[in-house]
Structure formats: C-alpha cells, structure tokens
Amino acid sequence: MCALRRLITMTKKKNSSSSIQALYDLCRDTFTPSETSPPSSHAIHKLSSLLDSIGPADVGLSDASKEDNRGHGPFGIFSFNRVDRWAQPITYVDIHEGENFTMCIFCFPTSSVIPLHDHPGMTVLSKVLYGSLHVKAYDWVEPARIRKIEGTDRSTVRLAKLAVDKVLTAPCSTSVLYPRSGGNLHCFTALTPCAVLDILAPPYNEFDGRRCSYYRDYPCSTLSAEDDESGVGKEEEYAWLAEVDTPDDLYMRSGTYTGPPIQK
C-alpha cells in the first residue's frame, strides 16, 4: 500500500512538472524576438488550450479553502512576513521573467483590487486558477478622442470602449487581450480568494516604452453630436479615462514560487 501511494505521488508530481514545463516551452517557442506581436491566432489558440488544462496543483498552489482569514494566501505556498490582520496584500509570484515573456501568479485575498491599468504593445493570457474574479476592461477608441476635463487628476481624458465586464469563476477558459483589442486596459476585483496565472509578452519594460500606467474611468454620461454622427453608439458602452499616479492603496508583495521547477 505504501509503495502504491509513493507511485501515485510521484505520478502526480511528474504530471504537474510536465504541465508547467510544457507551458514554458510553448511560450519560449511562441514569443521570440523575430516573432511579430501579437503572435498568430493559431499560436494563441495553442497556448490558451494548454493554459485551460492547468490547475492550482500544477503551479504548487494548495486548495483555496485553506486560505487564512487575513488574506495572506494559501498556507505553505508563499513566504512573507505577517502583517496587520486588516491588511489585504496581493501576492505576486514570479515563475519566469525573461526578455520575451513573463509567467507569474497573482494571489488575491477577498475584495482586493488591481486598479485599471494598461499593457502597451503587449499580449496577455490570464487563467483563473481558483476563486471568482470580476474583470472590467476597455480598449481605446481609435482614432484617439481626447478632451480637456476640469476636476480630474489629469487635464485631459481619452475615450475608451468597454470590452469586458464580467465575473470569471474557476474552472473557466483562458482570457486573452491584445495590444489594441480584447480589453488592453483592465482592472481586477477579487470576489472570493482567487489566483490568476498570467503570461505577458513582451513583458513590461520602461526602456522600450512598455510602462504600466494607471487610469480612472469616468462615465460617458453625454456624447456630443459629433460623436453620435461618427457611430460611437450607446454611451453606457464608453468611458473617459484619465491617467493617474500609482494608487496609494495598491498593496502588493512578492511571494516565493514553490511549484514544480522549470528547466530553462
């Protein structure tokens, strides 16, 4: 019986290692310096299909029900110091950070938020591993429509169209956003303890113009006659976005990846 249990344990570890290793290998082959951005729809479909098959155990996450009541993530998964019981940090876990792509996990305590932010020139695949997450996302209206608005954090706002406004509950399909479509500007709100596996390609890099900017959305309560005539559509589908400084209440800390090792 003990031998059988050891065999089952070894098989599970091998399968988990194969899953995350296969994901890394496919990302490495897909996101190359010579590859155009974004990759072909066929390449994205292959990545999405593989991501769809990955669960919490494949990246070393324990069951979400074991999360403690301080929002510190599953026991035994992340290494960090305890903080005040009312603090709600989001834990960022780096699996791979390279020149062509990043693989990482975000572990959210209930009610935590990653504010509205952009992914300039990037393709991002997101898989909810466990829990429920509300996603609200926009794409810029092109050509750009910019107005000077008094009373905002910035002197100008830019028109964006709502692309996604829904709740994702695991198990669910992988979400994909592109440089100009799919909801390139998005915010996450955790409805329950949850974790998200992200692939970002290429990664953020300020030197290459891929700086993460944060925004505040304002309802598009009225549209001018000019906007109506140009086919903008229903005002509830749009919002004016103002760039803001990094929010003071964005509380994020690093965690340690303890899933199956990746051969790079």
DSSP 96-153: EE-SS-EEEEEEEPTT-EEEEE--TT-EEEEEEEESEEEEEEEEE-SS--EEE-TTSS
CA dihedral 188, 212, 60, 99 (to 10 degrees): 150
Mapped onto helix, strand or coil, the DSSP state of residue 201 is strand
Instruction: Please identify which residue in the block is written with the tokens 């876990």.
Output: 93
pLDDT for res 79: 33
pLDDT for res 158: 93
Q: What is the reported pTM? A: 0.81
CA distance 162 to 182: 10
Q: Which amino acid is at 72?
A: H
pLDDT in tens, the chain (264 residues): 444 344 334 444 444 558 999 999 999 999 988 666 678 999 999 999 999 999 999 999 975 544 444 333 433 333 333 334 444 789 999 999 999 999 999 999 999 999 999 999 999 999 999 999 999 999 999 999 988 876 555 578 999 999 999 999 999 999 999 999 999 999 999 999 999 999 999 999 988 888 999 999 988 874 444 444 445 557 679 999 999 999 888 889 999 998 999 998
Q: Evaluate whether 38 touches 179 at the Cβ level (below 8 Å).
A: yes
The span from the first CA to the last CA of the chain, in angstroms, equals 36
pLDDT for res 181: 95
Q: Which CATH number fits domain 2-255: 2.30.22.10, 3.30.9.10, 2.60.120.10, 3.40.50.300?
A: 2.60.120.10
DSSP structural state of residue 207: G
> Buried (b) or exposed (e) across 47-56, using 16+ Cβ within 10 A?
bbebbeebbb
Q: Give the pair of three-digit tokens for residue 100.
A: 């062509």
Q: Which amino acid is at 167?
A: V
Q: Give the pair of three-digit tokens for residue 248.
A: 């003071």
Q: Evaluate whether 56 touches 129 at the Cβ level (below 8 Å).
A: yes
Find, among 98, 102, 96, 146, the residue nearest to 122 by Cα.
Answer: 102
pLDDT for res 138: 98
DSSP structural state of residue 228: H
CA distance 190 to 234: 28
CA distance 92 to 194: 12
pLDDT for res 233: 59
